[in-house]
């Protein structure tokens, strides 16, 4: 008989972890997975669970109502393992107050507060929410360090499980022809922290160097209209295209010659791994999480300081050198960020919780 794991996260809209959850659920064939999503789906918007045979319950746009519904959901599934993904301490506290003894919390972010008062309140909430019996995972060493620094003097054991980016949904890379026109892409949300206005500035500089280059931005977000205006005001209409949200990015990656990724902060960086796995080299800002991904291949990184423009233009001039390294990097990434490795890690975490629960019951 299958045991139950209840996954808890914020939204069914496509984001870094949300797009990976269906693959993760399918990989855990020995578990019966149920899902609680704190926010209800938006009508007409993409839902990561569409077509997936899994029970999904929803909270509310109201935090109070969502918390009550989560508490009731947890009470009805008290024997299950609960696994929360980046929901913050308050919803984890709801799970604990509902009597859940076996829970995992996965850290998929590095921004744990925005104001001093919020920092104070959330540190207290973490002390209340984190049971010594709960497991904690992080999607990178960087996000692990940031979290442990924030919750200090608490010192929970945090296991690093990299995002399972190398999943079955990724297809084969295409062969690229050196010396042809360049297609440079970005995939991801168009929001603060992604450094998209500097991305546009770098695109203008690259176009001045190579007038055969085209840029495509895949994604949506609160900054989209401002970015479109900025690009049009700078005469980029003929070589920069906003492609909008695309559920299946496989063709975007296959048609790309380069991914340019200049985020100011990330807990991981799915897009750079996906680009490599599809055979397209990457130019990425040298931030901690991306540096961790390319720890053995620093040639894909550029300075985040004043020399960024010069560094990027130098990489563009030597793009064939980056292309030559991609097969070696992809081979490593397929194993390092594989779905099987991630699923095996989850099985170990869940198994440890069940073993501890049985030991406590016998004592």
Kind plus residue range of the DSSP H or E element containing 244:
strand 240-244
Over residues 326-336, the mean pLDDT reads 94
Q: Residues 76, 82, 85, 88: what is their CA dihedral angle, to the nearest 10 degrees?
A: 70
Domain formed by 3-164+338-362, architecture: 3-Layer(aba) Sandwich (3.40)
**Closest alpha carbon to 291 in 198, 282, 15:** 282
The pLDDT of residue 248: 81
Question: Which whole number is the average pLDDT over 82-109?
Answer: 96
pLDDT number for residue 176: 58
* Model pLDDT, residue 177: 59
Residue range 148-167: mean pLDDT, rounded: 91
Q: Do domains 3-164+338-362 and 183-336 have the same CATH topology?
A: yes
Quick one: pLDDT at residue 45?
Answer: 84
pLDDT 10s digits, 134-150: 999 999 999 999 999 99
Mean of the per-residue pLDDT values for the chain?
92
Q: Which residue has the higher pLDDT, 171 or 270?
A: 270
The half-sphere exposure of 149 on its side-chain side, counting CA atoms within 13 A, is: 10
Question: Which residues on neighbouring strands pair with residue 82, listed in sequence order?
Answer: 6, 103
Q: What is the mean pLDDT of residues 90-96?
A: 97
User: What residues does each domain of the chain span?
Assistant: 3-164+338-362, 183-336
Q: Where are the beta strands (DSSP E) in 86-194?
A: 103-107, 135-138, 158-160, 183-187
Superfamily (CATH) of domain 183-336:
Glycogen Phosphorylase B; (3.40.50.2000)
- pLDDT for the residue numbered 113: 85
Instruction: Give residues with Cβ within 8 angstroms of 19, minimum separation 6.
Output: 48, 270
Q: What's this model's pTM, rounded to 2 decimal places?
A: 0.90
Share of the chain above pLDDT 90, in %: 80
Whether the per-residue pLDDT at 241 is higher than 70: the answer is yes
Examine the pLDDT at 307 and tell me if it is beyond 80.
yes
Closest C-alpha to 48, from 85, 18, 10, 75: 18
List C-alpha distances in Å: 331 to 211, 276, 325, 326.
Answer: 33, 9, 10, 9
For residue 346, the model assigns a pLDDT of 95
Reply yes or no on whether the pLDDT at 362 is more than 60: no
Radius of gyration of the chain (CA): 22
Encode pLDDT of 214-226 as tens digits.
999 999 999 999 9
């Amino acid at each position: 008989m299958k045991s139950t794991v209840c996954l808890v996260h914020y939204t069914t809209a496509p984001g870094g972890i949300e797009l990976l959850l269906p693959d993760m659920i399918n990989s855990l064939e020995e578990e019966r997975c149920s899902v609680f999503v704190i926010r209800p789906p938006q009508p007409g918007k993409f839902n990561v669970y569409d077509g997936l045979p899994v029970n999904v319950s929803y909270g509310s746009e109201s935090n109070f109502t969502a918390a009550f519904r989560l508490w009731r959901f947890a009470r009805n599934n008290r024997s299950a393992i609960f696994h929360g993904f980046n929901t913050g301490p308050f919803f984890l506290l709801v799970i604990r107050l509902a009597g859940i003894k076996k829970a995992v919390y996965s850290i998929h972010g590095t921004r744990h507060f925005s104001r001093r008062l919020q920092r104070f309140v959330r540190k207290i909430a973490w002390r209340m929410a984190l049971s010594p019996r709960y497991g904690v995972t992080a999607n990178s060493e960087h996000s692990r360090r940031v979290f442990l620094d924030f919750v200090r003097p608490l010192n929970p054991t945090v296991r690093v499980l990299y995002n399972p980016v190398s999943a079955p949904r990724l297809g084969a890379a295409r062969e690229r022809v050196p010396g042809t026109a360049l297609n440079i892409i970005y995939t991801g949300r168009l929001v603060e922290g992604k450094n998209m206005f500097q991305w546009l500035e770098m695109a203008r500089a690259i176009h001045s160097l190579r007038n055969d280059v085209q840029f495509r931005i895949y994604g949506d977000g609160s900054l989209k209209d401002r970015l479109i205006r900025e690009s049009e005001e700078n005469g980029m209409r003929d070589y920069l295209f906003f492609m909008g949200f695309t559920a299946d990015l496989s063709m975007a990656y296959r048609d790309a010659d380069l991914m340019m990724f200049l985020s100011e902060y990330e807990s991981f960086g799915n897009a750079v791994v996906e680009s490599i796995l599809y055979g397209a080299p990457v130019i990425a800002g040298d931030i901690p999480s991306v540096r961790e991904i390319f720890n053995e291949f620093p040639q894909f990184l550029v300075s985040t300081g004043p020399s960024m423009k010069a560094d990027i233009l130098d990489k563009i001039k030597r793009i064939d050198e980056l292309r030559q390294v991609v097969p070696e990097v992809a081979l490593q990434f397929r194993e390092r960020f594989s779905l099987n490795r991630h699923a095996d890690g989850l099985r170990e975490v869940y198994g440890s919780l069940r073993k501890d629960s049985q030991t406590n019951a016998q004592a």
